[in-house]
Structure 1
């Protein structure tokens, strides 16, 4: 597949991505300026750091948009091994924050290996499932080797612990396997084993159990475990239909924890109201729609599975974040893709979008050829 066969990228997907990043920077400044003054003597601290990550991420996205997506087949083994190594190292040399070892701190910047493990798992599974073809329906030769590698990565992420990322990786793997043609009977039998394990993991730690009880009864402990969700719901309710106006949030003023990270959707709801959050979800819908369209139009099984895995990674994170902030799902501590503060998440999403855009370039060429 030579560079001469590349067409134009999906400009709507590109525009929506850049819009979400820009919108995120505006909302991060609005949500973080007050706390940034207290902690760092500058209202620009968090948005400037995110701006640097955004520039790096956009640059990576443009590079990946120009790299033929088939090249990633060659890089998959190296990326997977590096991901596993970093997931092991972070357990011993990572920075401990609130009892979790998920980050390397380099020059004051937190890097989260589990974020980049998402993309390496997508690449690994898309490559292996596409190569196995019909053999994927054979449990021993097709499914078992994949489950062994994915299971290892899930175990390492769970040791950090990071249950939210485990859920994302699980849904990514499940989606790629189903689209790749795995025998559904095998998945059903596996689910009989995995569901009890997930239930145990969800209730084995007190803070996870508290998140579930908060979800079931958000007013049971308003000064402790339920505090964050209650403040989030106050913010969304205060915003009403049209919001308090940009910068007008009250809950971000030291009432709502993690206002510029996991709970930025609540600040958006308070300042821009139901109309603003509805428009944001519509933009996310366009992103997912164009990404999904890009994936299913690819006549190469590797490109199709790769695209579907990337779209699922971003989609499930959107659902879990907004569901947690609004009380529709238990809180998972996951950021809102492309919008929340967080360098690792932003760079991963933009790099993955760059791969999607490259797939769309070859789809564009094929459509032009048919015309």
Structure 2
């Protein structure tokens, strides 16, 4: 971008983002207050912690919005090194929660390195693929080095284990490669080779196999593997068209596990009904649409791939979460972007949106310059 002047950001994208974060805080308070009162003697415990992360995330978003997005092309190797170190360190020094070693616990706050690895993969692949240009169509010199790096990252994430993040990283990588002009035959053959691996991973662990069986028929084990999905469907059904009203959910009263995290959409459906969930889905698609517009209007391949990679990350997480809550997809433990309780996810989403806003600022400045030049 020429000069130091930055254009204005996409205010609709900015507004929808802040709206989602604000609504998420309201719903976290509603969904978590019974459990917070029981465990911590305060209904505000979880929403206050999420509020701290929201402030940090919004601050990071504003900073990233002010940084020219081309900066991330130079920072890609540093981000990759940090992610490698963090993913290795968490396997040895991380805290084990529910059988998974994914988090660093610092002063009562959980930080999940695999969340930030999503943005690292987007930045690294966008930088490398845009730099390779047409060479990306050559498997040995173009595609293979990228696959080796991404493969190591996926193995480290899988070791935690975090199968949901592995799926998200796979779809992000495939999207950027396709946009970057990779030979589609390579993607097709690679996908065929990975299908048996994904199937094995899905059935090799008993808890994953239980999630698949409960997805197929939750009533087979209504008190064990199918319990969470059944309670989620009860919540959505109880909400009806207009919902029971804010704070009036029944399922959050210790019936629905993870009511304020992975299954917060079920509480939203119960309290706001079909109308409320439809408005939330429309808000997400509005955010995704504005992000996509910002990406495709970029005048650099790096900007296009970076923006679409971020949009795909948000969309895949949105799809996997709502699919799991409604019984349309197996449960993967993926949070609802901007809404679910979880500081790492919220900061990642806001930081990524900051980059989208930076791309939109560059687009606006470039259009204004073109207009001024045309009127001279």
TM-score, normalised with respect to structure 2 = 0.98
Find the aligned partners of 2:224 and 2:118 in 1 and give their Cα distance.
32
Distance (whole Å) between structure 2 residues aligned to residue 103 and residue 307 of structure 1: 27
Partner of 1:205: 205
Q: What is the Cα deviation at residue 3 of structure 1?
A: 5.3
Measure, in 2, the Cα distance between the counterparts of 1:6 and 1:136. Answer: 32
Separation in 2, partners of 1:54, 1:278:
24
**Could you say which residue in structure 2 is the equivalent of 1:160?**
160
**2:218 alignment partner, SS class:** coil
Deviation of 1:370 after TM superposition, in Å, equals: 2.9
1:238 correspondence with 2:232? no
**Structure 1: distance between partners of 2:219 and 2:3:** 58
Report if aligned partners of 1:5, 1:362 keep a CA contact under 8 Å in 2: no
Name the residue aligned to 1:144.
144
3-state SS of paired residue (1:69): coil
Q: How does 1:278-293 map to 2 (within 5 A)?
A: 278-293=278-293
SS in 1 for 2:188: helix
Partners of 2:209 and 2:291 lie apart in 1 by 35
Q: Determine the C-alpha separation between the residues in 2 that align with 1:189 and 1:328.
A: 27
In the TM superposition, what is the alpha-carbon distance from 1:89 to its structure 2 partner? 0.7
Counterparts of 2:213 and 2:335 in 1: how far apart (Å)? 21
Superposed CA offset, 1:244-287 (max 9, x none): 00000000000000000000000000000000000000000000
Partners of 2:214 and 2:57 lie apart in 1 by 35
Q: Distance in 1 between matches of 2:312 and 2:172?
A: 6
Q: Aligned residue for 2:374?
A: none
SS of corresponding position for 1:219:
helix
How do residues 113-262 of structure 1 correspond to structure 2 at under 5 angstroms? 113-262=113-262
**Deviation sequence 1:88-137 (CA, Å, 0-9, x none):** 11111110011100001111110000001111111100000000000000
**Within 5 A, what are the aligned runs for 1:261-272?**
261-272=261-272
1:75, distance to aligned residue in structure 2 (A): 1.1
- Superposed, which structure 2 residues align to 1:1-371 within 5 Å? 1-2=1-2, 4-371=4-371
Query: Relative to structure 2, which stretch is displaced further, 65-74 or 316-325?
Result: 65-74
CA-atom RMSD in angstroms: 0.7
In the aligned structure 2, how far is the partner of 1:286 from the partner of 1:189? 34
Q: CA deviation at 1:6?
A: 1.9
Distance 1:36 1:28 in 2: 11
Task: Note the alpha carbon deviations across 1:153-179, whole angstroms, 9 max, x for none.
Answer: 000000000000000000000000000
* 1-structure distance, mates of 2:192, 2:294: 34
> Offset of 1:367 from its aligned partner?
1.9
After the TM superposition, which parts of structure 1 deviate over 6 Å for at least 4 consecutive aligned residues?
none
- TM-score, normalised to structure 1's length? 0.99
Q: Please tell me whether the aligned partners of residues 76 and 123 of structure 1 are also in contact (alpha carbons under 8 angstroms).
A: yes
Query: CA-to-partner distance for each residue in 1:268-325, whole Å, 9 max, x for gaps?
Result: 0000000000000000000000001100010101111000110000000000000000
Say which SS state the counterpart of residue 245 (structure 2) adopts: coil
Which runs of 5 or more residues in structure 1 are unaligned?
A: none
Residue 192 of structure 1 and its aligned partner are, at CA, apart by 1.6
Q: Give the Cα separation in 2 of the matches to 1:128 and 1:328.
A: 35
Task: Give distance in 2, aligned partners of 1:303 and 1:189.
Answer: 28
